[in-house]
Amino acid sequence: AKGAGMKVTAVKVEAQRRLTAGDEGQAVVIGFTLGNIAFRMALVELRVRRVTSSLIMVGLGSSFRFADVEPLVGKLAARIQAGL
Distance linking the first and last C-alpha atoms of the chain: 44
3-state DSSP assignment of residue 63: coil
The pLDDT score that the predictor gives to residue 35 is: 84
In the predicted structure, residue 9 carries a pLDDT above the cut 90: no
The pTM (predicted TM-score) of the whole model is 0.80
3-state DSSP assignment of residue 19: coil
In the predicted structure, residue 26 carries a pLDDT above the cut 80: yes
The pLDDT score that the predictor gives to residue 77 is: 92
Cα–Cα nearest to 41, from 33, 51, 31: 31
Q: How many CB atoms lie within 10 A of CB 72?
A: 14
Q: Order of strands, edge to edge, in the sheet holding 8-18?
A: 8-18, 24-34, 37-48, 51-60
